[in-house]
Amino acid sequence: MSSFEVLNYRIKSKSPLFVGMKLPICRRRRIGLLLVVPLLVILFHFNTVTELYRQDLFYKREGKMSRKSDHLILGPAAGQGLSDRIQCQGTRALNKAHMNTTVANSINKVSFVTVFTFYNDTSPPILLPLLSSSSDRVSVANASYDKKERSLAILGAFIDFIQVSMPKSEVLILSDPSSKFPLKRENVFVIPIQGDYSRDRLMLQRIKSYIFFLERRYEEHQERSNDMGLNHYIFTDSDIAIVDDLEPIFQEYPDFDLALTFRNNKKQPLNSGIIAVRGTLDSILKAKVFLESVLEVYTSRYIKASRMLGDQLALAWFVKSHLSLDDATIFKNTSPFSNEINGATVLFLPCLIYNWTPPEGSGQFHGMPLDVKVVHFKGSRKRLMLEAWHFFNSTSKHIPNMLCLILMSGRTKYDF
Ligand SMILES: *[C@@H]1O[C@H](CO)[C@@H](O)[C@H](O)[C@H]1NC(C)=O
Ligand SMILES: *[C@@H]1O[C@H](CO)[C@@H](O)[C@H](O)[C@H]1NC(C)=O
Ligand SMILES: *[C@@H]1O[C@H](CO)[C@@H](O)[C@H](O)[C@H]1NC(C)=O
């Protein structure tokens, strides 16, 4: 029996549902069970509560929540004992259900599209989202980086993860034509697009670049036969790690034109860090029109919003104003749903699986879902992205183990 099975067995034998299913017919034993079942229910919950309590104690004792760490810190893994969450023993994953979702022999292709620009002056390159400004050199594993090198390292890790999880995919980097950065990688292409990439305008420029890109693709695809397969596009921030194949989204949900990720957050229910677009002519066109509408909302309503948030606020405003579902409840869902938004079929995917962020701070959280596909290293978590890649590349090259490392480290605030 492997340790995974042992653990699984332990969870199952504690689970009230499991016991309930095995209720024997014998009356005396049934009475006995009537007492045992609630006890088991209590024990089961007690276990998860103490687990959470222990984590909180750990972080209180560390007392480091406000200080930012310049090295990897591992705490306890959250979600232990929950059967739909990754179970870890140290940085060893005990279950790994999610690792086999590749579409066999697909003739279609998925390209990732991100915006990155490098300034010729002394200011650091722009990485989306913007890095907080700490000026010193930092070290990750054996490498040391200044600000520019750090951003390039994150872009490099972004590409590395894609090449591991979706080796057939291309990475397309939309960039200011005047910015030159050293990047020679296979299956990675820099696409210069004119625009105003200055810091204050960057999120605005990003939508504009996406729209321009889709426009050009629309023209190109018109001359292309679908026999060659479709080329889907996923627009992303570059501080994310793709840890599983995303192509199955396009098969499992064959009707959407574009897909967004949602979460239960009243002010910002949508994250603009991932936008998937189906590679048919019709969907490319609809996605372009959709983004043009978001851009319009951005310029008319949110142009003064903090430079990081404008696009996200505009996206949520536009979607909410066309949603035929109750936005007060629908984003509390944990499963995907779709809705017609101004002529486009939009698929809403839960951030929990498709845009998972390690929670920071001392609040409770319930671990990492088994089938997580995208990890987003928002805010002061960029170091963790590089540390995670380093761990992956220098140990067994086992994604679930790396996910355990991310899970255990998720509450730490890092220096970049
Ligand atoms: C993964 O899926 C493929 C094809 O569906 C199958 O042949 C293979 O046995 C699976 N591997 C595991 C480890 O389940
Ligand atoms: C990092 O440095 C240590 C000790 O200096 C060495 O043992 C290790 O192999 C190095 N790792 C890498 C990835 O270069
Ligand atoms: C992965 O690790 C090897 C050494 O084990 C190193 O040579 C290589 O550069 C690393 N690759 C990346 C992309 O970090």
The atom of ligand 3 lying closest to the CA of 389 is 14
Interval between CA 272 and ligand 1 midpoint (Å): 33
Of the listed ligands, the closest to the CA of 99 is 1
Mutate to test the pocket of ligand 3, among 393, 395, 397, 398 (most ligand atoms within 8 A of CB): 393
Helix/strand/coil for 107: coil
Element housing 409 (H / E): helix 399-409
Domain at 109-321, CATH from 3.40.190, 3.30.420, 1.10.3470, 3.90.550: 3.90.550
Interval between CA 393 and ligand 3 midpoint (Å): 6
- pLDDT tens digits for range 292-325: 999 999 999 999 886 678 999 999 999 999 999 9
Mutate to test the pocket of ligand 1, among 2, 100, 251 (most ligand atoms within 8 A of CB): 100
Of the listed ligands, the closest to the CA of 388 is 3
Check if 100 has its Cβ closer than 6 Å to any atom of ligand 1.
yes
- pLDDT tens digits for range 142-165: 899 988 889 899 999 999 999 999
Q: What is the Cα–Cα distance from 133 to 124, expressed in whole angstroms?
A: 9
Helix/strand/coil for 115: strand
- pLDDT tens digits for range 214-266: 999 999 988 877 678 999 999 999 999 999 999 999 999 999 999 999 999 88
85 close to 370: Cβ distance less than 8 angstroms = yes
Confidence (pLDDT) at 49: 38
Mean pLDDT of the chain, nearest integer: 82
Interval between CA 389 and ligand 3 midpoint (Å): 10
Of the listed ligands, the closest to the CA of 141 is 2
Q: How far apart are the first and last CA of the chain?
A: 42
Protein residues whose CB sits closer than 6 Å to any atom of ligand 2: 141-142, 394
Q: What is the Cα–Cα distance from 195 to 208, expressed in whole angstroms?
A: 8
What are the extents of the domains in the chain?
3-62, 109-321
Q: How far is CA 241 from CA 238, 283, 384, 385, in A?
A: 8, 26, 11, 7
Protein residues whose CB sits closer than 6 Å to any atom of ligand 3: 160, 393-394
The residue whose CA is least distant from atom 2 of ligand 1 is 100
Confidence (pLDDT) at 129: 52
b/e code 352-378 from CB counts within 10 Å (16+ = b): bbbbbbbebeeeebebbbbebbbbbbb
